[in-house]
């Protein structure tokens, strides 16, 4: 039986990021063989990941990457269970690494991303190793990627609570940043009127018509009132018609000038995920018990 030294444990910790006691046990179980110990820890990580599969991962980070020439960019939401983990430098570094990988490899969807190879291993295996190290469920929820002859710009708000990626036909870096910030702040649903969902527009028209009739307006002027209110609706949901947050006297269309917005993605962390309600004390106790 090989003697397990502190140096061996330290080496295994550096290679795997696993805890000291886990590393010591892995080496004891594998007679000090580093390669087998790594496999042992990976297998253990897979088991731990399985136990965490039913947990709600609604915290996390929205991260982005834009290439130096601003021609390719990505935005990704990676979820974990607690904001304590989400706020660590290691978690942010992991999200940044995944965002760059998305930009570099252009996967078709999340399944393809998880199946792709990053630094010699599948992304899904990389995530499993992170679960084993961090001790929380981690999952890649969604991403968007743009590649253009124009300019890609990004904006991350509140350390990863909101992330925006926008594709423009050109313009300077500051314009790209301003437009991305606008999208983060004002939350448009489309670039212009052509992008408005017809069903949403029809529903909005019906609601506004009912409101006008409820106000007792004559039927003959209701349609004109509704048209006026629909124009206001367009100014709320269409990016180019919104007032510029940094200068409300201008619309985004005026700010853009000859530059066009080809598309954008805006991710707000955890939107649509039903979060499990726990008080802070209970969360701390659950961490201690682990």
pLDDT tens, position by position, 251-261: 999 999 999 99
* Mean predicted confidence (pLDDT) in 139-157: 97
Question: Is the pLDDT higher at 125 or at 290?
Answer: 125
* Mean predicted confidence (pLDDT) in 163-170: 98
* 73 phi/psi in degrees, rounded to 5: -155, 160
Question: Is the pLDDT higher at 192 or at 132?
Answer: 192
DSSP single-letter state for residue 276? P
Q: Which CATH class is domain 6-51?
A: mainly alpha
Question: What's this model's pTM, rounded to 2 decimal places?
Answer: 0.76
Average pLDDT, the chain: 89
Residues of the chain with CATH 1.10.8.10: 6-51
d(Cα 67, Cα 30) in Å, to the nearest integer?
Answer: 43
* 70 phi/psi in degrees, rounded to 5: 60, 25
* Mean predicted confidence (pLDDT) in 217-237: 90
Superfamily of the domain at 59-188+261-274: Elongation factor Ts, dimerisation domain (3.30.479.20)
Fold for domain 193-256? GTP Cyclohydrolase I; Chain A, domain 1 (1.10.286)
What per-residue confidence (pLDDT) applies to 102? 98
Between vectors from CA 184 to CA 88 and to CA 260, what angle results, nearest 5°?
130
Question: Is the pLDDT higher at 209 or at 240?
Answer: 240
* Mean predicted confidence (pLDDT) in 121-145: 92
What per-residue confidence (pLDDT) applies to 51? 55
Spatial neighbors of 115 by CB under 8 A, at least 6 apart, are 122, 123, 124
Give the model's confidence band at 103: pLDDT under 50 very low, under 70 low, under 90 confident, else very high: very high
């Amino acid at each position: 039986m090989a003697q397990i030294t502190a140096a061996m444990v330290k080496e295994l910790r550096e290679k795997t990021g696993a805890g000291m006691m886990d590393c010591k046990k892995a080496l004891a179980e594998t007679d000090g063989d580093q390669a087998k110990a790594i496999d042992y820890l990976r297998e253990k990580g897979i088991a731990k990941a399985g136990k965490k599969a039913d947990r709600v991962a609604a915290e996390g980070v929205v991260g982005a990457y834009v290439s130096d020439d601003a021609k390719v960019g990505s935005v990704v939401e990676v979820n974990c269970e607690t904001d304590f983990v989400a706020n660590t430098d290691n978690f942010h570094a992991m999200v940044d690494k995944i965002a760059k990988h998305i930009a570099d490899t252009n996967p078709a969807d999340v399944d393809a991303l998880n199946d792709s190879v990053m630094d010699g291993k599948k992304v899904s295996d990389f995530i499993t190793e992170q679960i084993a190290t961090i001790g929380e469920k981690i999952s890649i929820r969604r991403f968007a990627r743009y590649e253009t002859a124009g300019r890609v710009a990004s904006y991350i708000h509140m350390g990863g609570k909101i992330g925006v990626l926008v594709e423009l036909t050109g313009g300077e870096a500051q314009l790209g940043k301003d437009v991305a910030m606008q999208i983060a702040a004002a939350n448009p649903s489309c670039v212009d009127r052509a992008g408005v969902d017809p069903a949403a527009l029809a529903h909005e028209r019906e609601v506004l018509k009912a409101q006008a009739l409820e106000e007792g307006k004559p039927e003959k002027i209701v349609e004109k009132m509704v048209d006026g209110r629909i124009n206001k609706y367009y100014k709320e949901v269409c990016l180019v018609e919104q007032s510029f947050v940094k200068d409300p006297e201008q619309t985004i269309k005026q700010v853009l000038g000859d530059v066009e917005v080809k598309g954008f993605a805006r991710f707000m962390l955890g939107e649509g995920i039903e979060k499990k309600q726990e008080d802070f004390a209970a969360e701390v106790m659950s961490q201690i018990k682990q």
